[in-house]
Structure 1
Amino acid sequence: MEVDIKTLMLLFFILFLMLSIWKIWAFLPNKRLKDDDKTQESEKKLMRLMLKVIEKKDTVPTVEELFLAMKKDKTFDSKLFWRFNSNRLKHLLNSYYINNPGTTSIKGISQKLALSL
């Protein structure tokens, strides 16, 4: 039985393609990490913390002041939220604005919280 070069090339291509797919699949993360802060539960924790910090402030904080106040709060879990930064806070604020159409700023959130008391 004589095998021509095209058949050998096709067989090796298929073999190495299967090997490559297996290697990619083997190294993809399959389990949820313990410190994964992208889950809905952790988003809710951050949202509650943000609202609590805004509610405690006497004046309306800027984004940077809010960020620092959240990091200094005693309920802030620095091990879970080790990736928390000001961009993440801005994303959290935008998420709040989308879910609560009447608010467009931290001042609006503060006023809404004051009215709910």
Structure 2
Amino acid sequence: MSTSTWMMIAFIVALILSIWKMYPFLVNRTLEDDDTGEDAHEALVEHMQRTLKSLPTSPSIKELHKRMREHEKFDKERFWRFNENKLHQLLHKHFTKHPHLNSIEDIHKELKNRN
């Protein structure tokens, strides 16, 4: 065999080995506790609305966060990273989708008026 054939075989073997070693980093699987997707966002919005419906008055952000975490239907394993900052982001995104709402009190009033 010529030198170029050996070089081609070595190149192909090295290419296969490098792809095999890099494959775990290329696979993009969703983790079980991923709370960044759209489905997680919708689940948190539904949970926030459920929590707000159960409260007699409009809470502060700290109170809402506390009540959401203590609620019986809160998935602590999936949303273990849920903190006040995530709640701020959730509310900001919710206010962007619904421009007629400007505060937690507005969301609370709208939910109470639906029933």
Q: What is the TM-score normalised by the length of structure 1?
A: 0.74
Partner SS, residue 45 of structure 1: helix
* 2:59 counterpart (58, 61, 64): 61
Structure 1 counterpart of 2:39, one-letter code: E
Structure 1 residue ranges, 4+ long, deviating more than 4 angstroms after superposition: 22-26
Q: Map 1:24-39 to 2 at 5 A.
A: 27=25, 30-39=28-37
What is the root-mean-square deviation in Å for CA atoms of aligned residues? 1.9
Q: Who is 1:87 aligned against?
A: 85
Percent of residue pairs identical? 32
Structure 2 counterpart of 1:52, one-letter code: R
Q: How many residues align?
A: 98
Unaligned 5+ residue runs, structure 2?
A: 1-18
Unaligned 5+ residue runs, structure 1?
A: 1-21
Measure, in 1, the Cα distance between the counterparts of 2:105 and 2:98. 13
Structure 2 counterpart of 1:76, one-letter code: F
Structure number with the bigger relative contact order (C-alpha 8 A, sep ≥ 6) is 2
Measure, in 1, the Cα distance between the counterparts of 2:22 and 2:59. 46
Q: What is the TM-score normalised by the length of structure 2?
A: 0.76
